[in-house]
């Protein structure tokens, strides 16, 4: 649709008050001096005073994302985002991140931070795997959209997609156990599945995840919300 010509725009849109309000809602992107590439600390902090990392990468082109990394808040932004724009976007993304964390923390059993996820994994390993799976780190990640979890046995690290955060506890436990078992058996051999045999919700969890994948792949209403980054924000320009 063609943009409305200036002569047909409402007169109120040209008032100083209207222009000021529009600037507050969505400041221009890509005008002014861009911030430094890589990680830097924002002048803005979390509500508890802890520092926030701003991560600028050339790979990110059109959006912003907020996530926790090793217990620290990270706001990922496009390289072209200016320091002026940062003053608007970072507080907005931090507010979304903290709001999401409070929502998750209010749900019994769903760990909101990486440390809590690690502790849950160690308890599962002890209960179902004889404590033989001993991860170095277990963390939530925002960039894992094609799999629920992944493991690197050589490094004993596990990453769980943030999409799992909206699922029932018993599904999260299955995903964690699945990746923990990969620290013992790197493939899906009979020995691997034998490790999971004592977990009573294996088949139910697999069915749940298959259904979630099917719905997400077809963008079925009610499921697609679980397959997008709920703290992602697009920027103009």
Query: What does the pLDDT look like over 163-211, one tens digit per residue?
Result: 888 788 899 999 999 999 999 999 999 999 999 999 999 999 999 988 8
The residue-averaged pLDDT of 134-163 equals: 90
How much is the pLDDT for 104?
54
By the 10 Å C-beta count (0-12 exposed, 13-18 middle, 19+ buried), 205 is classed as buried
Residue 138 has phi, psi (to 5 degrees) of -135, 120
More confident residue, 212 or 19: 212
Report how far Cα 216 is from the mean position of its chain's Cα atoms: 17
Place 216 in a pLDDT band, splitting at 50, 70 and 90.
low
More confident residue, 232 or 154: 154
Identify the three-state secondary structure at position 207.
helix
pTM above 0.85, yes or no: no
- CATH 3.30.2010.10 region(s) of the chain? 114-227
Q: What is the pLDDT of residues 26-66, one digit of tens each?
A: 444 556 677 788 888 888 888 777 888 898 888 877 778 88
Contacts (Cβ under 8 Å, ≥6 apart) of 211: none
Contact between 7 and 14 (Cβ < 8 Å): no
Distance between CA atoms of residues 73 and 68, nearest Å: 5
Q: What is the pLDDT of residues 69-116, one digit of tens each?
A: 756 788 888 888 888 888 888 888 888 877 766 555 445 556 778 888
Contact between 214 and 224 (Cβ < 8 Å): no
Indicate the CATH number of 114-227 among 3.30.2010.10, 3.30.1360.200, 3.20.20.60, 3.40.50.300: 3.30.2010.10
The helix or strand, by DSSP H or E, that contains position 168, with its residue range, turns out to be: none
């Amino acid at each position: 649709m063609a943009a409305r010509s200036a002569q047909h725009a409402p007169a109120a849109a040209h008032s100083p008050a209207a222009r000021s309000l529009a600037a507050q809602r969505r400041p221009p992107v890509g005008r002014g001096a861009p911030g430094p590439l890589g990680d830097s600390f924002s002048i803005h902090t979390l509500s508890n005073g802890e520092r926030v990392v701003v991560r600028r990468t050339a790979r990110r082109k059109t959006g912003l994302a907020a996530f926790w990394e090793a217990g620290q808040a990270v706001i990922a932004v496009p390289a072209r985002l200016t320091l002026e724009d940062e003053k608007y976007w970072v507080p907005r993304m931090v507010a979304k991140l903290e709001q999401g964390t409070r929502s998750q923390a209010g749900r019994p059993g769903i760990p909101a931070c990486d440390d809590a996820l690690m502790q849950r994994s160690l308890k599962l390993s002890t209960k179902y795997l004889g404590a033989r799976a001993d991860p170095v780190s277990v963390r939530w990640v925002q960039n894992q959209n094609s799999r629920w979890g992944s493991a690197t046995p050589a490094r004993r690290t596990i990453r769980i997609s943030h999409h799992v955060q909206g699922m029932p506890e018993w599904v999260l436990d299955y995903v964690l156990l699945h990746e923990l078992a990969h620290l013992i058996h790197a493939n899906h051999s009979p020995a691997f599945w034998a490790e999971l045999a004592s977990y009573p919700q294996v088949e139910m969890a697999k069915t749940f995840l298959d259904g979630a994948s099917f719905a997400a792949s077809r963008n079925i209403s009610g499921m697609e919300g679980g397959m997008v980054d709920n703290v992602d924000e697009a920027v103009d320009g």
